[in-house]
Amino acid sequence: MILNAFNLEGKVALVTGCNTGLGQGMAIGLAQAGCDIIGVNRAGPDETQSKVEALGRQFWSVQADLTRPDIVSTVVEQALAAAGKIDILVNNAGIIRREDALNFSEQDWDDVMNINSKSVFFLSQQVARQFIAQGHGGKIINIASMLSFQGGIRVPSYTASKSAVMGLTRLMANEWAKHNINVNAIAPGYMATNNTEQLRNDESRSEEILARIPAGRWGDPDDMMGPVVFLASAASDYINGYTIAVDGGWLAR
């Protein structure tokens, strides 16, 4: 029956950047659907861990700074040592730096590109190799952005990195579909998290943004739960390389 296809009981999901915001919402959503969770964060994600454990699921913590793409193989090794397998990868950890393009620094370019794009690719590569070794395929869900579709203002490295995420999602899907690996992305719209605190505190930008969202509100981490469970589950087995907007209608305007 179709609802059984959404059941993730017995699956292990690795979620990066899950101590707060959208990553926390998705880790909890996946745990509600039956997953045990490996959380990859800079510091211990205590609140997420206790919320996942309260659902009767296991939670393992791996500490890593994902601005360093060279450490992703260690991340996968530690994850496997703890959980024994990985079925689902959610590449969520990401940062943003705001500055006029004329003044944008190389450091702000490199930091954002490293975590938002380079680590996403190399972590996906490591996990895809593991999926192939395990022999049952797997699911990779990347977190894109409205700036995978649009140019944005004062966020050059963020726009470049999230445009890369949408392109890489298609490339990885093309190469790995034959191994029963689905690679898709979710593009959140304007969501109330740390990432958008500066924007929400800027009264005129905040008003402009809200006026353009047909749903009439900022999104929140719970809005990510349904889409991530769908893309992590057998219900989406024939969806490959697609980026789903979860944006209250922003892109439809």
Member of 49, 92, 126, 130 binding ligand NAP (CB under 6 A): 92
Is 158 among the residues known to form the active site?
Answer: yes
Member of 93, 113, 128, 164 binding ligand NAP (CB under 6 A): 93
Please state, in angstroms and rounded to a whole number, the distance separating the CA atoms of residues 206 and 209: 5
Handedness of CA 45, 51, 53, 57 (dihedral sign): negative
What does the radius of gyration of the chain's CA atoms come to, in whole angstroms? 17
Give burial (CB, 10 Å; 0-12/13-18/19+) of 18. buried
Kindly state the smallest distance separating residue 126's Cβ from ligand NAP, in Å. 15
Member of 35, 95, 155, 245 binding ligand NAP (CB under 6 A): 95
Alpha helices per DSSP H over 119-201: 119-134, 156-176, 197-201
Q: Which two tokens stand for residue 114?
A: 């490293």
Span 129-188, contacts to ligand NAP by CB under 6 A: 143, 145, 188
Question: Measuring CA to CA, how many Å separate 128 from each of 137, 198, 227?
Answer: 8, 36, 21
* Residue placing its CB nearer to ligand NAP in the complex, 9 or 202: 202
Should residue 65 be labelled a site residue for ligand NAP when binding is judged by CB under 6 A? yes
Member of 194, 202, 214, 234 binding ligand NAP (CB under 6 A): 194
Member of 41, 61, 157, 236 binding ligand NAP (CB under 6 A): 41
Should residue 48 be labelled a site residue for ligand NAP when binding is judged by CB under 6 A? no
Should residue 227 be labelled a site residue for ligand NAP when binding is judged by CB under 6 A? no
191 secondary structure, DSSP code: B
The amino acid occupying position 151 is: G
Handedness of CA 236, 242, 245, 251 (dihedral sign): negative
Residues that contact ligand NAP, how many (by CB under 6 A) = 26
* Residue placing its CB nearer to ligand NAP in the complex, 33 or 95: 95
In the three-class reduction of DSSP (H, G, I as helix; E, B as strand; rest coil), residue 86 is classed as: coil
Q: CA-based angle 18:24:28, to the nearest 5? A: 120
Member of 29, 34, 94, 241 binding ligand NAP (CB under 6 A): 94
The catalytic site residues sit at 158
By CB under 6 A, name the binding residues for ligand NAP.
Answer: 17, 19-23, 41-43, 65-67, 92-95, 115, 143, 145, 188, 190-191, 193-196
